Structure 1
């Protein structure tokens, strides 16, 4: 049984959905990163503007108003403080140059004192700091950041003031997390649906259809059925493949037909000279010589007839039919003079050329009865194949000759000699018929004694699943 994801259609669907999901995730990640950069730039610009305003106020206001200015400037997100030492010991030029440039642009052009900026990610503690362990905007945002596992980004500024003091500014904001919004889900679904509709149309109309016809035609052609030329359709690659199959089919058909006709013609044309030789042999006066000549001519005539029979087995144009294997073998047993045992098998239907395959099984059964003392026939299913086994209890065949006995006109000495009948074409014909069905025949000696002939015939695609319960 084929796995559902082994088909081209299922694999393309999975590939499209997987690619879309990956592309959507990458786009979402890039968008989130862009949002993070935008938020960082906005917070930096806002902090720089507020810090510049506070610096200007502190520089121009009397010293006793500085605490009031700092209290008014503070917010839940930004803290201002005055101290003798800078909070930033080393400026971050990679991220701080933009902030410094903005502050100097907002301040008086004569402002030349040092401005230090540091931008860094800080780990979020599991517990609230002591000074935030209370209700308020900062505490609420801190708790949300802990709950959502958001990494905060801290921007710190230190600005040197006149008189030697430093204005320290600290602000903290969270990097926006990845968010899969409803619009993203809708966009993914619509895109996937449109792509799948287009792909399915392409597969059904342009790719899968021609490939399935090609696969079915190749299977029927391998079983010896007439298929005819396939229509050339689909993409260029599929059209080229179909055209190549049509050419191959035509060449093989012509090749087999020419060779078979040649073999049949040779067997047929030998009849006339052999008949003439038989007439002339009758005119020989010496009785011993005449008998020897007649025996040789008769053997040659039998070989010519066997050759014609072999050629007929190769050129049969019988149509395939769906048969019940058990019923078909029972009918064969009833038609033969020498009966054979049927060991039985599962209810199974197969699409075969019944007359030609019947001839192959009959040849095997007759060999088993003639040389093995009896025949037993059984069948079963192995994967997508019908397996018919013909066994006997005879002496078997030497292991080194198990394949050689299929050669045309090859005869074993001993128990399978010419005296016991046959010209060595029975097994050749049987194997030719099995191979014309797309199968084969093998022989093996049984451990308990005797020979087993195994006929393997592929079940057609139409009958792979056509098993029935009794």
Structure 2
């Protein structure tokens, strides 16, 4: 899961879009809340002033005996009205009185008419006693509401999300009004549902976009991997966005140039090797007529060696020029078959059987590389013990012998073409020095490598490593 979100193109696009959605929602939330609060506060202030000034005009135009009924009819669950014989005075003291009115149940107009002592209008349901802070920095602000309305003092109670008002309705009589409506800070469930729907839609868009971008890239990755293993690769489809299409075009051009370069080099080596056969044969025929045996025999031996090298080079060039199709095989079965064939020919070869190991390769080419390594082990180390195992990074084959080993300084030099550490140069004790060079070339063309190491108990260990992700 971590690999998906951190390394895959689809995961990164989904994460980027969800992060963009989250940031946009946060910004939209604050902007929308600010605008909504400003608009709602203005509307509430107008409604509060309209209702309070209407109550003030009614109280001012009626007899004091009905003021209680008027006040009872005006009270609501979120607002309270009361009459005092003093001006509002200090805003903090007035707010404390307003707090007590808000947190006290009051009778309604119906209760008052019926003469019932019980009050059925409960305290303000949105403000508990601990949730009604006393606001600092309060100040009365004169306000007039319409023609004919008495002048009033307005108090902005932001901490309560409300307002306070005091106005003189008759000489010595002041009408006080307070409104408080604390809104919950949590968002509605509908908002979370819509946010989840938006996230799903954006995730779907991200998946489609990632597939559109990732499909050509996957084709390009597979083609590059197969080309690196020496397989014949058809041109990559040049489709998609301009950047991806240009990349595919560049890859196809590179592949064509590499193929032409390899073919030209192979043809040149094959031509040189072929052309050398005629003068070498001519020189050998002339050497046969030399009467002095001491001169004739070394010369013929040298010409034979040159001819063997030429033939080996020509065979190698022909093998390189032949393009073998890659296919899936059981590498364990291939190696077991090769070891059985060599053992049947009288060579001391042992193979430790392993479980089935599927592998995509050019089997004839890989068999040739393995044969060169195993035959070298038998030729120079008397016997070959072959094992194969799966590792965390791929497949590993070990070929061990009981020979004298190789000096550390020559570990890399033996992979060079025509290099032989055996100094007799006799065909009976070794080849022409192309075996390990061919083997490493083939293994590297499959994405692997060959390394040498001397064993602590004597002998040489050849390690062939092939990548496990070889399916293209």
Say yes or no: TM over 0.5: yes
Residue in 2 that maps onto 1:408: 417
1:17-416 matches, within 5 Å, as 17=18, 19-20=20-21, 23=24, 27=28, 31=32, 34-57=35-58, 70-81=71-82, 82=84, 83-88=86-91, 103-106=143-146, 108=148, 111=151, 115-121=153-159, 152-159=160-167, 167-182=175-190, 185=193, 188-189=196-197, 191=198, 203-204=210-211, 206-336=212-342, 337=345, 338-383=347-392, 385-412=394-421
Q: Select between 74-83 and 434-443 the one with higher mean Cα deviation.
A: 74-83
SS in 1 for 2:158: strand
Deviations along 1:134-184, one digit per CA (max 9) or x if unpaired, are xxxxxxxxxxxxxxxxxx534333457786776543221022444344486
Distance 1:342 1:263 in 2: 36
Is the CA contact 1:88–1:158 (under 8 Å) kept in the aligned structure 2?
no
Is the CA contact 1:32–1:178 (under 8 Å) kept in the aligned structure 2?
no
Is the CA contact 2:359–2:470 (under 8 Å) kept in the aligned structure 1?
no
Aligned-pair Cα RMSD in Å: 3.8
Distance 1:425 1:168 in 2: 109
Gaps of 5+ in 1: 122-151, 464-470
Residue 231 of structure 1, CA deviation: 2.4
SS in 1 for 2:231: coil
Deviations along 1:318-344, one digit per CA (max 9) or x if unpaired, are 222322122211211222221411123
Residue 68 of structure 1, CA deviation: 6.1
SS in 1 for 2:462: strand
Q: TM-score, normalised by structure 2?
A: 0.77
Distance 2:470 2:167 in 1: 84
Q: TM-score, normalised by structure 1?
A: 0.77
SS in 2 for 1:452: strand
Residue 360 of structure 1, CA deviation: 0.7
Residue 403 of structure 1, CA deviation: 1.8
Q: 1:416 to 1:167 in 2, by over 3 A?
A: farther
Q: 1:416 to 1:159 in 2, by over 3 A?
A: farther
Distance 1:295 1:378 in 2: 39
Deviations along 1:414-447, one digit per CA (max 9) or x if unpaired, are 7999883223211101001111222221112233
Distance 2:46 2:392 in 1: 73
Residue 346 of structure 1, CA deviation: 2.9
Gaps of 5+ in 2: 96-136
Distance 2:165 2:425 in 1: 107
SS in 2 for 1:397: coil
Deviations along 1:85-141, one digit per CA (max 9) or x if unpaired, are 4252699xxx999x958x413254884x7x2423232xxxxxxxxxxxxxxxxxxxx
Distance 2:316 2:168 in 1: 110
Distance 2:91 2:21 in 1: 46
Is the CA contact 2:422–2:430 (under 8 Å) kept in the aligned structure 1?
no
Residue in 1 that maps onto 2:132: none
